[in-house]
Amino acid sequence: MNNLIPYLAVSTILFSLGLAITVTKKNLILMLMGLELMLNAVNINLVAFSKYDPNPEKGQVMAIMVMLVAASEIAVGLAIILKIRKFYNSVDPEQLDELKN
């Protein structure tokens, strides 16, 4: 594929779907999945544009960095979600409405 437009289109659609998932779902794990989809969409853009860079390693290293940041984010996020689940007995963000029990 030497045209840039299909990459941008796929990335746009993935980002919008990730945003819709993050906004609508009443489940913290699903919201994390939406975040991952959005990060993936950004990665597609980085890699697609790096094709036209004189030294394409920059964009690819940036994409790998985004991936590792996503990995650490999911590790910490899941730990927090497990704590929330233990404390509130639910992973519905609408029920997390008390600060002190």
Partner 1 sequence: MKFQEYLPLATDLVFYIFCAVAVGGAFYVLMAKNVLYAAYGLLCSFLGVAGIFVFAGSEYVAASQIMIYVGGILILLVFGIMLSSGKKSGKEYLKIKSRNLTWGLTLGLALIAIMTIIISTIRFDFKQKLASQSIKNIGFSLMTDQVFALELVGILLLIALVGATFIAKTDE
Residue list 26-45, contact with partner 1 (CB under 8 A): 26-27, 29-30, 32-34, 36-37, 40, 43-44
Q: How far is the CB of 59 from partner 1 (least distance, A)?
A: 8
Answer yes or no: are the C-beta atoms of 42 and 7 closer than 8 Å.
no
Residue 70 binds partner 1 (CB under 8 A):
yes
Burial class (CB in 10 A: 0-12, 13-18, 19+), 11: buried
Answer yes or no: are the C-beta atoms of 39 and 70 closer than 8 Å.
yes
If the CB atoms of residues 43 and 99 are measured against partner 1, the closer one turns out to be 43
Number of residues binding to partner 1, judged by CB under 8 A: 73
Q: Looking up tokens 């860079």, which residue turns up?
A: 53
Residue 53 binds partner 1 (CB under 8 A):
yes
User: Number of C-alpha atoms within 13 angstroms, CB side, residue 17?
Assistant: 11
Interacting positions 6-25 with partner 1 (CB under 8 A) = 6-10, 12-21, 23-25
Residue 101 binds partner 1 (CB under 8 A):
no
If the CB atoms of residues 24 and 96 are measured against partner 1, the closer one turns out to be 24
Phi-psi region of 82 (alpha: psi -120 to 50; beta: other; left: phi over 0): alpha
